[in-house]
Amino acid sequence: MTTQLEQELATYTAANPKSEELHNRATEYMPGGDTRNSIFWDPFPLYITDGNGTTLTDADGNKRTDFVNNMTTLILGHRPPEVVLAVSEQVNHGLSFPAPSPSVVRWAELMCERVPSLDKVRFVNTGTEATLNAIRAARAFTGKQKLVKCEGAYHGNHDAIQISVVPPLDQAGNAESPDSVKAFPGISETAADDIYIAPFNDIVAAEKVIREHADELAAVIVEPVNGQCGMIPGKPEFLEGLRRITDELGILLIFDEVIAFRIAYGGAQDYYGVTPDLTCFGKVVGGGMPVGAFGGRDEIMSMWDPRGGSATVQHAGTFNGNPMTAAAGVSTLENLTPEKYEYLEQLGEYLRSKLRALFAELEVPMGVTGVASLFALQFTSTEVVDYRTFATNDKNMLKIMFIGLLNEGFVMSNRCAGNVSTAHTEEDVDAFVEAVGNVLRRAGYA
Ligand SMILES: Cc1ncc(COP(=O)(O)O)c(C=O)c1O
């Protein structure tokens, strides 16, 4: 007897022959046919030819409603006319220069004006570089080496932080003071020794870990909304507690807002009213172009100031603050008014409440996590608040839902996380929730 997953996969394969063909070609030149594991799925990913508003078109001409928005980046949807215009105008003036452009000044001004803790900012090209530089800043500023991060948090693809990202539970130690587990082979042996792990959203346990190692700590780095475990909002008392404890002990607090910047006009720190020392950005702030940024208090950021040959920390990057990304970033930020955030928050809440009603009606052991425009399906009846509760997800059901939704004409991330953009409407959400119901009914929930 074929399983539900096999049936969904058969439908998927039959509908996407050109993507399969492209994937077969791709595997000859790229390992696994891919250059970005986070967007891979078995048996093959879709190859996209066009994005417009909320619609993605693939190589076979199939159109689907996109709830991924390039991993939360495209907050105004695909190809917003203002951003396309700004980028097209920049194309006519040059793609990159060996000197700063006026647009980068405006971009930095917009960031510092809206994010409470930003006295100064520096631009890079990925969120990975943003966390790398913020960690370096914390080490240089404090003269200390070690970090605390939360279990199950992804902060980018570099050694210092690729620790305890998705640790196998049989290697992860106890829940209150988890072990540091290297994410994969190849990471420096010392990286795991330089980092202590705390559970997300448990301030009592986190405080113990921080106090135990306080003398060696440069920083505590935290994602105010844990993206990888399903857009889990930090509890206010957790984030406020981290601020209180790090302030008391003279340890820097780094917010990784690569995703969470999306939740309010001034980012997650504005939403929660908690002011970190340093913040990392990515995704939204580049308007769809490659981007990262980090910034914070003047006192710390002045280490990068090269005036008079006095920079303490060196920082180069051929494409840092390039005019193409700056044009897209400026245009996106200028379009992201407080009203747009209100709309996103309402639409996100509408989506989450409709999903909860559906799960109750079908009596399915599922939940939904998220905040503002962010959401994720959780295939468990356990309330998901951290990595260990996230680990109770039924992975087979997740795969059925992910492929089933593609068959229904909707795209989520391969972890079944999603987000709404300003281009989405209540009608899009209604159709999405109906599609989730259709997949569940096919899986036997009626
Ligand atoms: C919270 C967080 N930090 C850092 C990164 C790394 O950003 P990038 O993929 O641009 O290197 C990501 C990427 O998804 C992220 O979600």
114 and 224 in a single domain? The answer is yes
Answer for the pair 206, 199: CB distance below 8 angstroms, yes or no. Answer: yes
101 and 202 in a single domain? The answer is yes
Give the tokens for residue 443: 């899986």
Instruction: Give yes or no for residue 1 having a pLDDT over 80.
Output: no
Does residue 283 carry a catalytic annotation? yes
Does residue 394 carry a catalytic annotation? no
- Mark which of 335, 361, 382 sits at the end of a domain: 335
325 and 351 in a single domain? The answer is no
What is the Å distance from ligand 1's center to 280 Cα?
9
pLDDT number for residue 429 = 98
Give me the percent of the chain exceeding a pLDDT of 90. 97
- Mark which of 335, 360, 393 sits at the end of a domain: 335
Least confident of 309-318, 349-358, 405-414: 309-318
Paired sense of beta strands 217-222 and 146-150, if any: parallel
| SS3 of residue 150 by DSSP | strand
Which atom of ligand 1 lies closest to the CA of 257? 1
230 and 304 in a single domain? The answer is yes
Q: Which domain holds residue 180?
A: 81-335
- Mark which of 268, 303, 335 sits at the end of a domain: 335
Give the tokens for residue 146: 């070690």
| Interacting residues of 289 by C-beta distance below 8 A, sequence separation 6+ | 87, 324, 325, 328, 329
Instruction: Give yes or no for residue 312 having a pLDDT over 90.
Output: no
CA dist 121 → 97, 157, 258, 305 (Å) = 20, 21, 14, 11
Mutate to test the pocket of ligand 1, among 128, 149, 221, 278 (most ligand atoms within 8 A of CB): 128
Q: What CATH number does the domain containing 117 carry? A: 3.40.640.10
Which atom of ligand 1 lies closest to the CA of 71? 14
433 and 355 in a single domain? The answer is yes
153 and 60 in a single domain? The answer is no
Give the tokens for residue 351: 């989506």
Does residue 29 carry a catalytic annotation? no
Report residue 397: phi and psi, to 5°. -65, -35
69 and 160 in a single domain? The answer is no
pLDDT number for residue 399 = 97
70 and 124 in a single domain? The answer is no
What is the Å distance from ligand 1's center to 281 Cα?
8
| Averaged pLDDT score across all residues of the chain | 97
What is the Å distance from ligand 1's center to 182 Cα?
18
pLDDT tens across 132-169, in order?
999 999 999 999 999 999 999 999 999 999 999 999 99
What is the Å distance from ligand 1's center to 375 Cα?
17
Average pLDDT over residues 102-122: 98
331 and 341 in a single domain? The answer is no
For 9-44, give one letter per residue: b (16+ CB within 10 A) or e.
Answer: bebbeeebeebbebbeebeeeeeebbeeeeeeeeeb
Paired sense of beta strands 367-371 and 292-296, if any: unpaired
Give the tokens for residue 196: 């202590």
Q: Is the pTM of this model over 0.85?
A: yes
Catalytic entry in 12, 47, 154, 341: 154
Q: Which residues line ligand 1 (CB under 6 A)?
A: 71, 126-128, 131, 154-156, 223, 227, 256, 258-259, 282, 292
Tokens 């917010």 sit at which residue?
Answer: 255
* pLDDT band with cut points at 50, 70 and 90 for residue 187: very high
Which H helix or E strand runs over 278? strand 278-282
425 and 297 in a single domain? The answer is no
56 and 107 in a single domain? The answer is no
Q: Percentage helix, strand, coil, to 5, in the chain? A: 45, 15, 40
292 and 387 in a single domain? The answer is no
pLDDT number for residue 34 = 86
Q: What CATH number does the domain containing 414 carry? A: 3.90.1150.10
- Looking at the structure of the chain, the number of domains it has is 2
Continuous H helices in 277-337:
298-301, 323-335
